[in-house]
Amino acid sequence: MEPGSLAALLARPRYEVAPVAGVLAAAADLPAGATVAVTASPSRGPDATVAVAEGLAALGFAPVPHLAARSLRDRGELALHLDRLAGAGVRDVFVVGGDAREPAGEFPDGLAVLRAMEEMGQRPPRVGVPSYPDGHHRIPTGVLWTDLAAKAAHADYTVTQLCFDAEVVGAFVDEARGRGIRLPVIAGVPGVVDAARLVRVSVRIGVADAVRFARAHPGTAGSLLRSRSHRSDDLVEALAAGGSDLAGLHVFTFNQIEPTVRWLTEARRAAA
């Protein structure tokens, strides 16, 4: 992707959805053939994610199910999920540690799953891993960099966790390249979502530094808290203008699919 090109950044965004009731019906609002990530949920388990991925594939989308290491019991269970996904034509998975506090079995982290898939001979054609420009509320920054460097040998791309600051994302990409990490970086941004819900999610996942961001961008932070909904026009424009080496956008829809697709369609028209 040409750095600084807003049109290129908006061209083929990935959409993220949660595996809840009604999501397959709501997917009708997505562009035909869209890439759709399906999150993992400790309460619903891996089966829910795999089932939604199968349903999306049957509808003609390109699903990317999240495989959460700490929700998987063992290699046998992992093999069953990978077999189901391969049978549905799923060619891309996203390996995360997961939100479960304690591992359900033999996989303490995403790196263990990455290695297991290769040792089992069941690695999908494409594999993604998360990264954290804004840090992680439970993992020290040095550990995050060590883990990403180790995962880079097993992955094809990384998606950044939710971050509201384009400068932070740009600095992350620059540091990754300086550390020899060449994975394509896809920037994670929120779609059109209820502002209060976005704040709650940000706090839950530890978007660091909401206080730092609020101090550095008081106008944006105040607008977010006063508004009924949030959309990421300024963030996406800043990401494009920053000239970072980005491979695309990953849009966290929070299952607000129709307004998010409408926003991106409008943004693409304006950027053309």
Q: CA end-to-end span of the chain, whole Å? A: 15
Q: What would the pLDDT profile of 216-240 be if each residue is shown by its tens digit?
A: 444 544 454 444 556 789 999 999 9
pLDDT higher than threshold 90 for residue 136: no
Q: What is the chain's mean pLDDT, rounded? A: 88
CA distances from 248 to 10, 118, 136, 200, 266 (A): 7, 26, 22, 26, 17
Place of tokens 């304006």: 270
What structural domains and CATH numbers belong to the chain? 6-193+230-267 (3.20.20.220)
**Best CA proximity match to 198, nearest among 229, 219, 172, 169:** 229
pLDDT tens digits, one per residue of 29-79: 999 999 999 999 888 999 999 999 999 999 999 999 999 999 999 999 999
Residue 201's pLDDT is 55
Asked if the model's pLDDT at residue 23 lies above 60, the reply is yes
Quickly state the pLDDT bin for 24 (edges 50, 70, 90): very high
